[in-house]
Amino acid sequence: MRCKKDAQTEIIRLLGESGGAFLSGEAVSESLGISRTAVWKQINTLRKTGFDIRAVPSKGYFLSAGKDGGSPFNAASILSGLKTETIGRNIIFLSETDSTNVRAYELARAGEAEGTAVIADSQSAGKGRLGRHWASNPGVNLYTSVILRPPVPPAAAQNLTFLAAVAVAETITAFLPMRPTVKWPNDILVDGRKVAGILMEMNSEPDRVNFVIAGVGVNLNLRTKDLPDDLKNTATSLMEKTLAPVDRVLFVRMLYINLEKWYKIYIGGGFAPVLSEWKGFFGATGTHVRVRGFNSVVEGICAGVDDDGALLVRTLSGEIVRVISGDVDTAR
Ligand code: BTN
């Protein structure tokens, strides 16, 4: 017998595939092998979780587009068309939380499986790199954290930073007419302004990684005018470039598909193919950079990255300095 969650997912899939056209209660009931009353009950439950499913007598049901210009943003909607094996197969969807990274970290510590994803519509304490705050307005963007359990030593976990950047940049590429760039190591920019950030947090033993939380924030439908003042000149969103809302459901599905693809490539083939793809999004080689580290500043011409992904900076004296963490300013 089909479980309730499966039936709901299947109903959303059927309604989604009909492209907004009517689907009769009879057709849904036959396809799922459940009674028409059971279909009606499941549809009522789906409505309560945010799906705008309309019913018209003698015609049937249809799924109305949500306010993102697409499907309603919730777990059932995302799962109904998600073609991954691990990433996002289990989604914890929260309308609000402090930080999806904090939630995912706690779940992973309690033994939650690899691939489980936390998504929040808004965050009250979104975390950025280097202890910064990540502005997390409701109803517009993507805030998600995925649990990974890579079979690698702790020193190699830094590779996942590049892997996530590749997956995010590739996903953004599918939604925009222009190509994004990465700012070392993993900020994603469009036309020189930040649209996405990635925060990786690790829990490890001396010789092995227990888990890594890959936290991704993407400005999808945020208006620049709604950004905090200090970000108005340095950040943007996808919608500012497309002028039409981005469907958050389609975006997050594609992100999970790309994350899974690159994770498999990494586990099977090592870091080289990931880094090679990352370099295709990296535009700073040959430009002037200033890297602020924990208690030092390195300034010079970017000479690319080495095989481990460390940033190489040629200073005024001609020396090549290898930087493994820090914040890069590209503007002079
Ligand atoms: C950065 O500083 O660029 C990294 C920002 C990462 C933000 C995301 S939003 C989802 C996840 N949860 C968090 O608290 N942070 C990350």
Q: Tell the residue number behind the tokens 């949500």, with chain if given.
A: 66
State the closest ligand 1 atom to the C-alpha of 98, by its place in the atom list counted from 1: 14
127 CA distance to ligand 1 centroid (A)?
A: 5
pLDDT of residue 65: 58
Q: How confident is the model at residue 2 (pLDDT cuts 50, 70, 90)?
A: very low
133 CA distance to ligand 1 centroid (A)?
A: 8
Q: Summarize the confidence of residues 181-191 as an average pLDDT.
A: 95
Q: How confident is the model at residue 53 (pLDDT cuts 50, 70, 90)?
A: confident
pLDDT at 1 over 70: no
Tell me 127's DSSP state: B
Rg value, the chain, Cα:
22
Phi–psi pair at 278, nearest 5 degrees: -60, -40
Dihedral (C-alpha) 5, 8, 10, 12: value to the nearest 10 degrees? -140
State the closest ligand 1 atom to the C-alpha of 197, by its place in the atom list counted from 1: 3
- Higher pLDDT: 298 or 3? It is 298
State the closest ligand 1 atom to the C-alpha of 125, by its place in the atom list counted from 1: 14
**Low-confidence winner among 68-77, 201-210, 262-271, 320-329 (lowest mean pLDDT):** 68-77
Residue 115: helix, strand or coil by DSSP?
coil
**% of the chain residues with pLDDT over 70:** 93
- Contact predicate 103/213, CB 8 Å: no
Q: How confident is the model at residue 69 (pLDDT cuts 50, 70, 90)?
A: low
pLDDT at 21 over 80: no
pLDDT of residue 147: 98
Dihedral angle sign, alpha carbons of residues 26, 27, 33, 36: negative
Q: How confident is the model at residue 204 (pLDDT cuts 50, 70, 90)?
A: very high
Task: Supply the residue whose CA is at minimum distance from atom 16 of ligand 1.
Answer: 215
Q: Give the residues surrounding ligand 1 with Cβ less than 6 Å away.
A: 99-101, 123, 126-129, 132, 134, 143-145, 187, 197-199, 215-217
196 CA distance to ligand 1 centroid (A)?
A: 9
pLDDT of residue 4: 56
Share the mean pLDDT of the chain: 90
* Angle, CA of 319, 325 and 329, to the nearest 5°: 75
Task: Supply the residue whose CA is at minimum distance from atom 2 of ligand 1.
Answer: 128
| CA gap 8, 127 in Å, rounded | 33
Q: How confident is the model at residue 332 (pLDDT cuts 50, 70, 90)?
A: very low
Q: Summarize the confidence of residues 95-117 as an average pLDDT.
A: 98
Length of the chain: 332
198 CA distance to ligand 1 centroid (A)?
A: 5
Ligand 1 site-directed mutation target among 92, 187, 216, 231, most atoms within 8 Å of CB: 216
195 CA distance to ligand 1 centroid (A)?
A: 12
pLDDT of residue 83: 86
Token pair of 183, please? 């700012």
Count of CA atoms in the C-beta half-sphere (13 A) of 37: 0
pLDDT at 70 over 70: no
Task: Supply the residue whose CA is at minimum distance from atom 3 of ligand 1.
Answer: 197
pLDDT at 5 over 60: no
pLDDT of residue 63: 74
271 CA distance to ligand 1 centroid (A)?
A: 23
Instruction: Provide DSSP, 311-329.
Output: EEEE-TTSPEEEE-S-EEE
